[in-house]
Amino acid sequence: MPESRPTSPTQRLDAPDTATAEEILLELVDDAGNTIGTAEKLWAHQQPGRLHRAFSVFLFDQQGRLLLQRRALSKYHSPGVWSNTCCGHPYPDETPFAAAARRTAEELGAAPALLCEAGTVRYDLPDEASGLIEREWNHLFVGLVTAELNPDPAEVDDTRFVTAQELKELRAERPVSVWFSTVFEAALPGIREIAGRDW
């Protein structure tokens, strides 16, 4: 289901005057990852971008294959491209771990059977197709999924389990999200602990 949550009482920084009670708020952070306020989601992704907290999830099946999703065509950012299992933003005052578990279940209809922290990565990645920018302090998670998937079509257009070689071939043939390579490389040590050295 699409993300929705009422406004938080946390102080908004430089937010536009057009905010409504239906807006989605993100946590703004400083260069050390400390929360400094909130901002509306789309506004935070517009140039020049505001550094904010995010998460990325990499789930594997019992054969060590990575679950990818192709983002729904209706998404405002990076529609129709392949990406990691799940990604998103914690609500203000929500832990990244809780947000990652919640959002994975919401998008894919299956909660992780195992979810482990795999570090953080900071990046500034412009998306030429949309004109938006990913300026994020991203918390990485790896784990296992064993339940049958039931993806939300408003969020996910398709899913696929891939081996390391199949992922390499897919990335050579199809577009992937602008953040995929950065978060994948940063999560690799944790991925190898879960899925083996073949990764």
User: Which residues form the catalytic set?
Assistant: 87, 136
How is residue 102 written in tokens? 């919640």
- Give kind and range of the element (H or E) at residue 195: helix 180-195
* 49 phi-psi bin (left φ>0, alpha ψ -120 to 50, beta other): left
β-partners of residue 162 are: 66
| Distance, CA of 167 to CA of 127 (rounded, Å) | 21
The neighbouring-strand residues paired with 56 are 87, 140
